[in-house]
Structure 1
Amino acid sequence: MLSHSSPLLQLRGLAVSARLFVVALFMLFLAGCTALGNNNSVRNAEPQPDLSELAHEAAAQMVASNPDITRSSPMIAATFVSIDNLSQSSTFGRISSEIMASALARHGMQVREVKMRDSMFIEETVGELILSRQVQRLSAQHDARSILMGTYAQGQDYLYVSARVVRTGDAMVLGSADFKLPLDNNTRSLLEGQGGW
């Protein structure tokens, strides 16, 4: 009797082993599909918006929140400055200001070009810097009714930007917008750039 049951037990053991092998193969197959799915989602992920896109969206947001903002023309644009040191800027601060001014001009804001005029102080490595004590003097010199100004702060993974259009007569904020930009190699390069105009 033992000799007959032994092959039967062996057969059952083989059947169990075969089932376990099939289950293991199925689990490996599922894991492979999940990994492939994750790779495809990374490849198909939307690219993050760049500075130009974010600045144009911010300008559109300003105008949408206050359609009368364009009545405070002409506007001059100040270089965006570091929140940690309002007397320091970078290539990022200069190009951010330029792009935002351009975007606001597309929405009907008259923008006065100040780099063409000698009456505005331009520090070689910083650009036009707007400090509160200078607003009245600069607006009078350029016959400006508003000023675009902004600040930026560097975090670990993102660069945070805050922009606003301020009426020169009473320092009233007419429009504001904030956005964050991924702190990648391109952004870091713009932050390190301290060259003049």
Structure 2
Amino acid sequence: MLATLCMTLLLAGCANLGNSAQLQEPEPDLSELAHEAAQRMVANNPDLTRYSPMIAATFVSIDNLSQSSTFGRISSEIMASALAQQGMQVREVKMRDSMFIEESVGELILSRQVQRLSSQHNARSILMGTYAQGQDYLYVSARVVRAGDAMVLGSADFQLPLDNNMRSLLEAQGGW
């Protein structure tokens, strides 16, 4: 009888462990977090969409503002898409050859070029962002700045677990 009781408790414990593992939700991915960040930006400044059209710069490493990665390029693209879904008009600059594009870096906007580029693209705002790699997380800071004076119109931050997928996207920045 003792053996039967022990076996019943063991099976009940295993059943509960299996259920709790199934109830655990997956961590949000880059796309989800970028869309939530865009929603927060617009919610915190409903007038943000008045500063359309916007151009997007590649997100860069906080440790070297002239360096980016596949992560920096795709996070900028996803964030621009998310802001467009929130009502921001986004001007696609890859179709023109007037913005400096370096194959391994992407579209980098340096402060001295902001005025010229925003004027050339008739942009009222610019999406910019930085990221920093920690041991377990990748931290992202995104902001929309007014082209005329670089005043921040909206900003949002989020973090992603630093898993093998994120490490792969960061490898293009010269190692992680």
> TM (normalized to structure 2)?
0.90
Query: Aligned Cα RMSD in Å?
Result: 1.8
How far off is 1:161 after superposition? 0.6
Q: 1:72 aligns with which of 27, 51, 58?
A: 51
Q: Partner letter of residue 118 of structure 1?
A: D
Q: Can you give the 5+ residue segments of structure 1 that lack an aligned partner in the other structure?
A: 1-20
Aligned match of 1:14: none
Equivalent position SS for 1:100: helix
Q: Structure 1: which 4+ aligned runs deviate by more than 3 Å? A: 24-36
More strand per residue: 2
Which structure is larger by alpha-carbon Rg, 1 or 2?
1
Equivalent position SS for 2:123: coil
CA distance in 2, matches of 1:86, 1:33: 55
| Correspondences of 1:1-197 after superposition (within 5 Å) | 22=2, 30=9, 33-193=12-172
CA distance in 1, matches of 2:7, 2:161: 36
Query: Conserved in 1, the CA contact under 8 Å of 2:142 and 2:157?
Result: yes
CA distance in 2, matches of 1:156, 1:32: 38
Aligned match of 1:3: none
Give % identity.
80
More helix per residue: 1
Aligned residues: 173
How far off is 1:29 after superposition? 5.1
Equivalent position SS for 1:147: strand
> TM (normalized to structure 1)?
0.81
CA distance in 2, matches of 1:82, 1:141: 26
Aligned match of 1:17: none
